Structure 1
Amino acid sequence: MSTSSGIDDDQRSPAERYAQARQRAAQGRTDLGRFAATLDFELDDFQREACQHLEQGSAVLVAAPTGAGKTIVGEFAIHQALSQGSKAFYTTPIKALSNQKYSELVARYGTEHVGLLTGDTAVNPHAEVVVMTTEVLRNMIYADSSSLTNLAYVVMDEVHYLADRFRGAVWEEVIIHLPERVQLVALSATVSNAEEFGAWLDTVRGSTAVVVSEHRPVPLWQYVMAGSRLYDLFASEVSFDDAAALEDHDDANRLVLNPELAELAEQQQRSHQRSDWGHGNRSRPRGRRGARGRGGPARDGHRNSNREGNRGPDLRVSRPTMVRTLEREGLLPCIDFIFSRAGCDAAVEQCLASGLDLTSPADKRRIAEVVDRAGETLPPQDRDVLGFWGWRDGLLRGFASHHAGLLPPFKEVVEKLFAAGHLKVVFATETLALGINMPARTVVIEKLVKFNGESHQDITAGEYTQLTGRAGRRGIDVEGHAVVLWRPGLNPSAVAGLASRRTYPLNSSFRPTYNMSVNLLAQFGRQRARGILESSFAQFQADRSVVGLAQEVRTREKSLAGYEQSMRCHLGDFTEYARLRKELSDLEKRTSKSRHRARLSAVKDSLNELMVGDIVEIRGGRRLGEAVVVSAAGNPSHPRVGVITQKGQLRRLGIDDLDEPVEPFAGVSLPENLPLKSPTQRKDVAAKMRAAIHEHRPPAGGRRVGASFQYLDDDSDRIEEVRHQLQLHPCHGCSEREDHARWAERWWKLRRETDSLVSKISGRTNTIAKTFDRLIDLLTLYRYIDNGAVTERGHTLRRIYGERDLLASMAIEDGLTDGLGPDELAGLAAMLVYQAKTDNTGGIVRMPTDRLQHVADVVDELWFTLQQDEKAARLEVTPEPNTALVGPMVRWARGHDLTRTLRGAELAAGDFVRWARQVIDVLDQFARIPGHENLARRCEQAKQRVDRGIVAYSSVGTVDS
């Protein structure tokens, strides 16, 4: 591995400069020299070194900070391909980055030489240079596409994305399966284990050079903003490069937190303590010493908003205050990272409400031209529901939000106007940090905590580096600025820790999927497929970790021997006595679990017996009180009953929602097709229930709220037998029995932990291949594989990609698509692709047609059986199908406008468009399944119905520069 130092020419000796001049003269006669001559800047050392390795025939991994210019290496690969008469693919993680790179390459090489493929967009796909999302290339490889012919180079931008838990496996699939002749150019953020990743690439791709640069071309300075004042994060002038260099430096004292920030944190802590004690704080803030922070007078950062004065200085920063402070300091334009879509939109509204206006008349004229041109792509009747006019007003005054819920034309306009310098502040989610060329002078991070899809977690040092990497425009700014906003509970030391660690480990998220498994089996056979999976980066890392685990096992075995010595008893075999005690404890726990299973079985039976109109009382975890059943359980194995509560709320109850069985105590007559869409209809049902309860209410203490059930304790005899053996054992009468027992408990605990480590070592050997074997066994059970060969059902699965690939294939092979019209097929695709951000299973979603209702019910049953089999096979469970998008998608496919389509749906317009593009992708997969010509025809019709209006908008070349 080589590391570039980033030394400037004026720092070299005369002899070094002379040698470099001779080297450049020689390079002028090479392909690299000719490429360098086309640039209007001098190549950095790490760029030149990586290009040289590429020119010499090696694959190359380039790890460098955001904004360092590593994409130049990818562009040299493209130059090589064109000069050699071969082809190059440039892959990116997201469509927006693909679009941007396509535009850059078109400007350089012309439209006739460059193509674009993003799953929903195909422009000149047979060009010599094609930009694409990584999934597109993966699908090409599995389909053995003719487009791979004459392919010489593949550039994988943002390759560290392979750590992404949801999509990262795609990167490894591509790296493993690319033809051997293809040279790989992997471009990564700076990771701490670049050498390990490079060693794996060397294993699977052949000779691979690793080039690491830790130098930021634009120095980055770090601050905390409190009140309306900027405080330097460190006590001395320490840039991003300096902080990282000092992290492991011998003189650790050189990297010191600004004492003012430490004092502010202490003041906040003391004031909160006084507030908790109930004592008022009437003292004035203490004077600051050694002020190094930028900005206004001290009182700006110490305003006391609490009239009683019991909370101390108010250091929180409003968004308008933040913008005014940055404007005063000359630090605009900026990107303010907010880990919330709603927060981004609210920030724009707050700035507009405050009267801020940051644009010049010239800016306003240019913004209006671009915005109005983009507005022409929107149907006039949809502009209000899309919030077009408020969005336009924000842009004219220099503000915008940027997130995944934004419409594609809106998002593109924001990117273009910001890159051109017309916008001053963009409030964005973290997707904007992923390679999109929207650099700013300043980056603001509002919180150091974000939601990762499952829980709120502190951002990592790598994420902090990726976000702040947007600050400082190369060739425009002499320095960049990163600002963290003060919040209650902020720990400045934690901020300093993030700012001084720029690297993070790259860990594989690779896992075999159903689709991957059948494709590997069909192409390579089972044994070779296992070998391919064992060559994954995930297995490479697992194998390396075994050495350390084995050493830990040896250490623990020595401790176990010591514990055995300590628990010896002079009266008898205490090991045997400890075994009896543990057996008794295990039996008692098993008895408790058996009772729990019996209770769940009784709850399930009671739910299955409920009928529409039954009135029950819910005393379980949801504690809904009295409720009337409006839809029966449906699937006996997975009963979920729809009820209306006393408050007119529609809820869906399953086994996990109840603590005890339920039994109706009254009833009401309800129609079979009960309308429940509006609150008024639901309240009518609740009123009928209350009347029925009043009429049938039993005497006090006579209501039955739970079904009785019998519990059979099979272990009771053995429990008594073990208790008797314990009492008769010689060690039972030992005066030191409990001391011995404590050592025995430690022995058992350590023995269990050690056995777990041994199991982990065994499990990490061929873990990926073992998962593949379990997938193959389940696919054999489901008749996708027979005697090791892929069946006709399996060939259907080969064409379907996604989180619910097997479930989608089952729906097709079980005939659920037969007889569905194009709009209903769009609804089925929506059910199979949609993933809600929050749990959306609380209410009942009625399907638009009876056929779709039947399909939804059957798909739900298929999923329930599948996830049970997956759990039994120790496989990751397929996500439950979600019907929340079905209604809007069917309405859109029937030609309704966007306003009517989204009516009653908790879905932003931008999100709907994004999911509609994915629905089109699923329909396209269905249409390409061999042997289903009738389905293919209807899917093509469905695609045409969905791909219209704002959904059909293509961002390529629609907004002029």
Structure 2
Amino acid sequence: MPGFADQYLAAKARQEHLKTPLGRFESSLDFRLDDFQQEACQALQDGHGVLVAAPTGAGKTVVGEFAVFLARTQGTKAFYTTPIKALSNQKYRDLAALHGAENVGLLTGDISINPEAPITVMTTEVLRNMLYAQSDTLDRLGYVVMDEVHYLADRFRGAVWEEVIIHLPDSVSIVSLSATISNAEEFGQWLDTVRGSTRVVVSEHRPVPLWQHVLVGSHLYDLFSDDTTISRAADIVRREGADSLAVNPDLLRATSRRGYGRGKRGPRGSHRPGPSRIRRAPRPVVLREMDGAGLLPAIYFIFSRAACDDAVSQCIDYDLRLTDQRQAQLIRAYIAEATAGVELKDLRVLGFDEWREGLTRGIASHHAGMLPLFKEIVEHLFSEGLVKVVFATETLSLGINMPARSVVLEKLAKFNGEQHVDISPGEYTQLTGRAGRRGIDVEGHAVVLWNEGMDAKSIAGLASRRTYPLYSSFKPTYNMSVNLLSQFGAERTRSILESSFAQFQADRSVVSLAGKIRRQEKALAGYERSMTCHLGDYVEYAELKYALNQLEKKTSRDRKLANRSAAEESLQLLLPGDVVDVPWGKSPGPAVVVAKPELGVSVRVSVVTMSAHLRHVTARDFSGEVEPVSRARVPKHFTGRTPQERRDMSSRVRDALAEQRPPREVSTPRQRTFGTVDRDRDEIQRLRGLVESHPCHGCSEREDHARWFHRWTKLRRETDALRRQVDSRTNTIAQRFEQILRLLEEYGYIRRTTAGAPELAPIGEPLRKLYGERDLLIAQALNAGYFQGLDSAALCAAMTPLIYTGKRDETPFLRTYPADLGGRVGELHGLWSDLTSAERRHRLPETPVPDVGLMWPLYRWARGDSLARSLEGSGLVAGDFVRATKQAIDALDQLGHATGDPHLRAGAEAAIRLIKRGVVVHELDSADPAAYADESGAADAWGGGPWARDGAPPAAEETDDDDRPAGEDPVEEDEDAR
């Protein structure tokens, strides 16, 4: 036992510790710090920066809160940055509760609350913009907390994190909070290089143990101890069907109405399972089993928006209820208060009734297509324990505080925008990390639903793997380049870019690449010996054959391209009444043009065929120039909407062809020369002669030599690529900066001083204040007068092609444009075409094509139309529309600050006021749901309860779930959501 002296010294040490900031901070908590929290806080108190990498739910944010406490103690400022606005809003509320609302501010681009407060929560983009603007708000800044710092791997916005880390003053201490990553030491070394002394604190311990399960049929099995049992159960289901594991047939019929778990179609549209396939238990069955096992509340991940909404409908159809009467009353009352400011007609278009019905049963969906207000209500009711299950897409795993006892994964694959791919171990850990609520649950549970083709051991490997490296996505952009050049000059900018984490990782990888090149060079020498031909130089022979093959392919491509170009140009010259012969497509044969050609990404022409069908033809339907073969009269007000109109029109075509009416003379679009094709044809003949006369052409072992040559060629190509990687990874970020400077100089944004140094020209100044994927295109449009002379509603519509990216393979065609903007859109497309040509010349990524899919919806909204009317015919869902509208507000605000024209600035401000209304700005009132029930708990219908007496809640600031461009969610949903 320790003696009295030891006890005295320990007590004295505790007393001394309580006098330190960390001691006072600990004494204010109602729990003890874990070892990793203690270590990180101590390093921060000692004056070091810290990187904390720990699992979701481990309590990393305590370290960030200690940084805020230190700032308060030292009389300096603390900024708390997050990747998404929803997380910023949540952290603002948490810190305001701890330190008082008067001491906490919030900045998220469209929200500004108490911006000069000593504690300010903001999105990382806001801090980046402050640094470039050298804002006075940065004065006395002592600490910056970068929550979810692993977000710097995001390919769209990750570079912002590195910009902030590089540009923050040396006097600022950075607290970086990250999910578990395998290369934390590497990231910490880079932070130590650019920021000075940085301590790396890694913890893989979960405060709440996580149990991994597999659900086969309706039976739950432990993943790590029942591999044989899981496989045996799967065999039973495969052999005898899902009913063999106690799945209710009546339930299968009920849920099949919503299309879930359908097998092959039987007679008369009935559904029956395939004989050898495993059918997952229907979602209501899964929840019923989990509820019985005490595993709720749960987050049920489905990688599809539509499937999330479908799941709620299935549960309602099955009459699944997870709440009691009192909870349902509280939910109804809270929903009524929270949505009191939304118009009834908008609620109808949002599917309010079914959404509310699901919530009162304790069931909800959560995805980026939902109205932000609805998502916030779901989040709040879930955190209060009133909602028991949320069907969610992966966006819910990105930092929003919605912990659950269990997490369900319906599939282990997702659609990434191009194809279905397996989720990574890092994604699996991020998703299942939501299971287990610290201080509430003794353990958390992750449940994977068994699907055909699964293997229990592979699932276990996915669940147990702990290698999730963090890779930089940092690349200079146009906006970043002009800001850096303006502030620091070219030389200092190059050194800043070379200090990025991207360059740090690239330099470290060169050593291993060089070793691989040496090994492959030895193998190449062996291949060369094996393909040696005694008759001649086989490499020379093979290269002649390759050149011949490539030239033949090129000639074929050139011919097709010339024909396509000729068809495109001649289609533009057609007029209503021209009869053309369509060689192939849906309705080949004669057809009459009934409307002027529509110009867009490609030319599209409306025609009526001989079979009286209204079709659209493009250059793909023709093999070359399109020439009219006759003429037919098209009535002035012809629409083609009725069968009779189309029949009359096809009859006119027959008459015109029978009478052999002469076609209208059409001038040739341009004179084409085929000299290049002729020269290629001559070169093909020459190469063919060289191949046939080469000595190796008659070698009896020519096929063996060809196989070795193929291997040699493939390995040489790989080796050359490795050499290029080594070359490109040396100063690669600075090289990209130089390419951008050359392009901007070509456009006049950059000029040279008398000493030859690049500097920003006056025409380039607006680009400094324009952020986004199409930043340079917006600057070009501004300089070209694209926005001039528009009223406020038209200005909103004109902005949309520059900020919107829809979930479609190509830009949609519009027959008409709002406010006669068609001509301007054509000019904008020309600017984009010129820009992408320049980007290809300078080997830079191409700017995304302008997308007109939001023009009509936002124009209608700006003109005061309802949500239903605004979305009519657009294919947009409410959540995407609200998010895109907020991006338009942000872009219009940038435009107002970037332009030097006071009229355009005033127009942008007026445009913002037009669209900043209704569901776009309506936000959740975050009070306790229990406060909305009257004494009798009788708030059981929308429109009743205390809100009917006290009126609507006070107006709240607007929010959004994500700064990401519309259509670029962190997870692209399945095809049924598109």
In the alignment, which residue of structure 2 is the partner of 1:511? Answer: 475
Q: In 2, distance between residues paired with 1:478 and 1:317?
A: 27
Q: Deviations over 1:514-549 (max 9, x none)?
A: 111111111111122122112111111111111111
Distance 1:939 1:630, change over 3 A: farther
Q: Deviations over 1:16-67 (max 9, x none)?
A: 9999988655432211111111110000000111111111111111111000
Q: In 1, distance between residues paired with 2:407 and 2:379?
A: 16
- Which of 597, 600, 604 in structure 2 is aligned with 1:641? 604
Q: How many angstroms does 1:320 deviate by?
A: 1.0
Worse-matched range after superposition: 127-136 or 479-488? 479-488
Worse-matched range after superposition: 487-496 or 655-664? 655-664
Q: Secondary structure at the match of 1:849?
A: helix
Match runs of 1:658-677 below 5 Å: 661-665=625-629, 667-669=631-633
Distance 1:206 1:644, change over 3 A: farther
Q: Secondary structure at the match of 2:575?
A: coil
In the alignment, which residue of structure 1 is the partner of 2:849? Answer: 880
Q: How many angstroms does 1:137 deviate by?
A: 1.1
Q: Deviations over 1:370-429 (max 9, x none)?
A: 111112121233221222222222111111111112222211111111101011111111
Letter matched to residue 643 of structure 1: S
Q: Secondary structure at the match of 2:407?
A: strand
Distance 1:384 1:84, change over 3 A: same
- Which of 831, 847, 850 in structure 1 is aligned with 2:801? 831
Letter matched to residue 682 of structure 2: D
Is residue 742 from structure 1 mapped to residue 707 from structure 2 by the alignment?
A: yes
Q: Is the 8 A contact 2:594 2:608 kept in 1?
A: no
In the alignment, which residue of structure 2 is the partner of 1:770? Answer: 735
In the alignment, which residue of structure 1 is the partner of 2:337? Answer: 373
Q: How many angstroms does 1:221 deviate by?
A: 0.8
Q: How many angstroms does 1:603 deviate by?
A: 3.0
Q: Is the 8 A contact 2:247 2:285 kept in 1?
A: no
- Which of 76, 82, 97 in structure 2 is aligned with 1:86? 76
Q: How many angstroms does 1:663 deviate by?
A: 4.1
Q: Deviations over 1:168-211 (max 9, x none)?
A: 11111111111221111111110111111111111111111111
Q: Is the 8 A contact 1:635 1:861 kept in 2?
A: no
Letter matched to residue 180 of structure 1: D
Q: How many angstroms does 1:652 deviate by?
A: 6.8
Q: Secondary structure at the match of 1:89?
A: strand
Distance 1:74 1:393, change over 3 A: same
Q: In 2, distance between residues paired with 1:169 and 1:883?
A: 28
Letter matched to residue 408 of structure 2: V
Q: In 2, distance between residues paired with 1:624 and 1:115?
A: 66
Q: Deviations over 1:281-309 (max 9, x none)?
A: xx799999xxxxxx9999999x9999999
Q: In 2, distance between residues paired with 1:956 and 1:149?
A: 33
Q: Deviations over 1:313-370 (max 9, x none)?
A: 7541111111111111111111111111111111111111111111122212321221
Match runs of 1:934-949 below 5 Å: 934-949=903-918
In the alignment, which residue of structure 1 is the partner of 2:747? Answer: 782
In the alignment, which residue of structure 2 is the partner of 1:719? Answer: 684
Is residue 474 from structure 1 mapped to residue 443 from structure 2 by the alignment?
A: no
Q: How many angstroms does 1:829 deviate by?
A: 1.9
Q: Deviations over 1:802-825 (max 9, x none)?
A: 111111111111111111111111
Worse-matched range after superposition: 777-786 or 750-759? 750-759
Q: Secondary structure at the match of 1:127?
A: coil
Identity across the alignment (%): 52
Q: How many angstroms does 1:218 deviate by?
A: 0.5
Q: Secondary structure at the match of 1:798?
A: helix
Match runs of 1:210-249 below 5 Å: 210-235=200-225
Q: Deviations over 1:724-772 (max 9, x none)?
A: 3444444444433333343333333322222222112111211111111
Q: In 2, distance between residues paired with 1:57 and 1:233?
A: 45
Q: Is the 8 A contact 1:845 1:883 kept in 2?
A: no
Distance 1:598 1:298, change over 3 A: closer
TM-score, normalised with respect to structure 1: 0.87
Q: Is the 8 A contact 1:650 1:844 kept in 2?
A: no
Q: Is the 8 A contact 1:159 1:186 kept in 2?
A: yes
Relative contact order (C-alpha < 8 Å, sep 6+): which is higher? 2
> Any gaps of 5 or more consecutive residues in structure 2?
253-260, 265-270, 753-757, 932-978
Letter matched to residue 745 of structure 2: T
Is residue 582 from structure 1 mapped to residue 546 from structure 2 by the alignment?
A: yes
Q: In 2, distance between residues paired with 1:388 and 1:304?
A: 28
Is residue 179 from structure 1 mapped to residue 178 from structure 2 by the alignment?
A: no
Q: In 2, distance between residues paired with 1:685 and 1:541?
A: 66
Q: In 2, distance between residues paired with 1:907 and 1:76?
A: 43
In the alignment, which residue of structure 2 is the partner of 1:242? Answer: none
Q: How many angstroms does 1:872 deviate by?
A: 2.3
Q: In 1, distance between residues paired with 2:896 and 2:614?
A: 37
Match runs of 1:805-844 below 5 Å: 805-839=775-809, 841-844=811-814
Is residue 495 from structure 1 mapped to residue 495 from structure 2 by the alignment?
A: no
Q: Secondary structure at the match of 1:435?
A: coil
Q: How many angstroms does 1:697 deviate by?
A: 4.8
In the alignment, which residue of structure 2 is the partner of 1:433? Answer: 397
Q: How many angstroms does 1:654 deviate by?
A: 5.6
Letter matched to residue 720 of structure 2: D
Match runs of 1:220-369 below 5 Å: 220-235=210-225, 258-266=227-235, 311-312=275-276, 314-369=278-333
Match runs of 1:592-603 below 5 Å: 592-603=556-567
In the alignment, which residue of structure 2 is the partner of 1:127? Answer: 117
Distance 1:387 1:749, change over 3 A: closer
In the alignment, which residue of structure 2 is the partner of 1:247? Answer: none
Is residue 925 from structure 1 mapped to residue 891 from structure 2 by the alignment?
A: no
- Which of 733, 753, 763 in structure 2 is aligned with 1:793? 763
In the alignment, which residue of structure 1 is the partner of 2:49? Answer: 59
Q: In 1, distance between residues paired with 2:888 and 2:708?
A: 61
Is residue 523 from structure 1 mapped to residue 493 from structure 2 by the alignment?
A: no
In the alignment, which residue of structure 2 is the partner of 1:914? Answer: 883
Aligned Cα root-mean-square deviation (Å): 3.5
Distance 1:933 1:733, change over 3 A: same
- Which of 568, 571, 593 in structure 2 is aligned with 1:607? 571
Q: In 2, distance between residues paired with 1:354 and 1:442?
A: 22
In the alignment, which residue of structure 2 is the partner of 1:413? Answer: 377
Q: In 2, distance between residues paired with 1:188 and 1:33?
A: 25
Q: How many angstroms does 1:925 deviate by?
A: 0.5
Is residue 188 from structure 1 mapped to residue 153 from structure 2 by the alignment?
A: no
Distance 1:587 1:286, change over 3 A: same
Q: Is the 8 A contact 1:631 1:641 kept in 2?
A: no
Q: Secondary structure at the match of 1:880?
A: coil
Q: How many angstroms does 1:932 deviate by?
A: 2.0
Worse-matched range after superposition: 624-633 or 196-205? 624-633
TM-score, normalised with respect to structure 2: 0.85
In the alignment, which residue of structure 1 is the partner of 2:507? Answer: 543
Letter matched to residue 726 of structure 2: I
Q: In 1, distance between residues paired with 2:608 and 2:847?
A: 31
Distance 1:118 1:716, change over 3 A: same
Give the number of equivalent residue pairs.
900
Worse-matched range after superposition: 605-614 or 459-468? 605-614
Q: Is the 8 A contact 1:650 1:843 kept in 2?
A: no
In the alignment, which residue of structure 1 is the partner of 2:407? Answer: 443
Q: In 2, distance between residues paired with 1:441 and 1:286?
A: 28
Distance 1:872 1:696, change over 3 A: farther
Q: In 1, distance between residues paired with 2:291 and 2:63?
A: 36
> Any gaps of 5 or more consecutive residues in structure 1?
1-14, 237-257, 272-282, 289-294
Distance 1:297 1:675, change over 3 A: closer
In the alignment, which residue of structure 2 is the partner of 1:245? Answer: none
In the alignment, which residue of structure 2 is the partner of 1:751? Answer: 716
